[in-house]
């Protein structure tokens, strides 16, 4: 089913797993990402940046996600990642995305609350879920860089106020992760995550999933992480494979011979990540 973030994270909360949120960087890789979820008996969150949505066309992402959700019988959420501007959010909602993120993490708390609340009001009227963010995640996202010294961890007291006042459906937490951390691994602050999870009753979200040590994932799940973002790892795998295939190809060879291996590389990563995210023995419960 073409689903909302709230629907898939509620089921994840009941059964204690996390739902993979994978950044689609082009349209080519999208069908195999959804097929990977189908093969693993898992829901999937497909997320796009605003620029990727504009480059492909929001309606085109919506059309593929909707048709594959119905034909493949898999729960697919289409989510707009890191939007800072109401018009971008409104466009995604009006064109059929089922979930959006308003990233007000750079704003003072009161302003973040006020703007997130306005997004929630509009989104909920249209049956769309909203993810908010408190604290700052390191690295570069949408051209904006947050250095180590500028990182602010999520304050659990602020999280209580934020969730209550905004009524967000999910909260992205800053517990040490960084966007685009490919070569090294993050030191996640688990004690802080435990505090936040004890203080608020809302699904929590990890950004910068590429840099998270896989052996930390079960503890993150046990402490309320219900949406787990992975982007860079897919991008790197697709690009590496493309360099290889396009580097060797004859120019007259059908393009699909070069592109299928790239999509396949992404599919393998999505399947692997889901196998860690879905620590549920009976997957048929997930598909209920």
Answer yes or no: is 229 a known binding residue: yes
Answer yes or no: is 210 a known binding residue: yes
Contact between 269 and ligand 13P (CB under 6 A)?
no
- Min dist. Cβ of residue 23 to ligand 13P (A): 6
Q: CA–CA separation, 219 vs 210, rounded Å? A: 16
Provide CB contacts within 8 A for 217, sequence distance 6+: 18, 228, 276, 277
- Beta-sheet strands, E only, within the chain: 2-3, 19-23, 44-48, 76-83, 99-102, 129-134, 138-141, 144-146, 170-173, 178-179, 204-206, 225-230
- Min dist. Cβ of residue 184 to ligand 13P (A): 12
Q: Which residues pair with 80 in a beta bridge?
A: 48, 100
| The pairing of beta strand 178-179 with beta strand 138-141 | parallel
Q: Please, which of residues 6-25 interact with ligand 13P by CB under 6 A?
A: 23
- Min dist. Cβ of residue 128 to ligand 13P (A): 18
Contact between 112 and ligand 13P (CB under 6 A)?
no
- DSSP single-letter state for residue 153: P
Select 116 or 229, whichever has its Cβ closest to ligand 13P.
229
Q: Please, which of residues 144-183 interact with ligand 13P by CB under 6 A?
A: 179-181
Contact between 232 and ligand 13P (CB under 6 A)?
yes
Among all residues, whose Cβ is closest to ligand 13P?
A: 231
Catalytic residue among 32, 51, 75, 81: 81
Residue 44 token pair: 């999937």
CA-atom Rg of the chain in angstroms: 18
Contact between 273 and ligand 13P (CB under 6 A)?
no
Answer yes or no: is 180 a known binding residue: yes
User: Phi/psi of residue 129, each to 5°?
Assistant: -85, 160
Using an 8 Å Cβ cutoff, are 212 and 225 in contact?
A: no
Q: Please, which of residues 201-230 interact with ligand 13P by CB under 6 A?
A: 207-211, 229-230
Select 11 or 25, whichever has its Cβ closest to ligand 13P.
25
Q: CA–CA separation, 48 vs 238, rounded Å? A: 16
81 is catalytic: yes
User: Phi/psi of residue 82, each to 5°?
Assistant: 45, 65
Contact between 231 and ligand 13P (CB under 6 A)?
yes
- Min dist. Cβ of residue 200 to ligand 13P (A): 20
What residues form the annotated binding site for Zn(2+)?
A: 82, 103, 133, 179, 207
Instruction: List interacting residues with ligand 13P (CB under 6 A).
Output: 23, 81-82, 179-181, 207-211, 229-233
Catalytic residue ranges:
81
What residues form the annotated binding site for dihydroxyacetone phosphate?
A: 180, 208-210, 229-232
């Amino acid at each position: 089913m073409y689903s909302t973030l709230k629907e898939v994270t509620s089921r994840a909360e009941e059964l204690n797993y996390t739902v993979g949120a994978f950044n689609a960087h082009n349209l080519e890789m999208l069908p195999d990402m959804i097929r990977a979820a189908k093969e693993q008996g898992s829901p999937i969150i497909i997320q796009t940046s605003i620029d990727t949505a504009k480059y492909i066309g929001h309606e085109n992402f919506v059309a593929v996600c909707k048709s594959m959700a119905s034909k493949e019988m898999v729960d697919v959420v289409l989510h707009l990642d890191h939007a800072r501007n109401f018009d971008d959010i409104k466009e995604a909602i009006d064109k059929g995305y089922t979930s959006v993120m308003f990233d007000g993490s750079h704003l003072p708390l009161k302003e973040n609350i006020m703007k997130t609340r306005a997004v929630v009001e509009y989104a909920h009227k249209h049956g769309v879920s909203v993810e908010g963010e408190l604290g700052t995640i390191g690295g570069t996202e949408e051209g904006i860089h947050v250095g180590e010294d500028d990182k602010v961890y999520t304050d659990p007291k602020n999280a209580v106020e934020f969730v209550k006042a905004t009524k967000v459906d999910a909260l992205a937490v800053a517990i040490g992760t960084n966007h685009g951390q490919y070569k090294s691994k993050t030191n996640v602050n688990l004690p802080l995550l435990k505090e936040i999870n004890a203080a608020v009753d809302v699904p929590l979200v990890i950004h910068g999933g590429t840099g998270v040590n896989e052996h930390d994932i079960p503890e993150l799940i046990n402490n309320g992480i219900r949406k787990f973002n992975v982007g860079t790892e897919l991008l790197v795998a697709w690009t590496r494979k493309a360099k290889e295939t396009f580097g060797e190809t004859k120019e007259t060879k059908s393009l699909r011979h070069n592109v299928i291996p790239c999509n396949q590389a992404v599919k393998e990563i999505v399947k692997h990540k889901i196998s860690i995210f879905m620590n549920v023995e009976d997957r048929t419960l997930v598909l209920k």
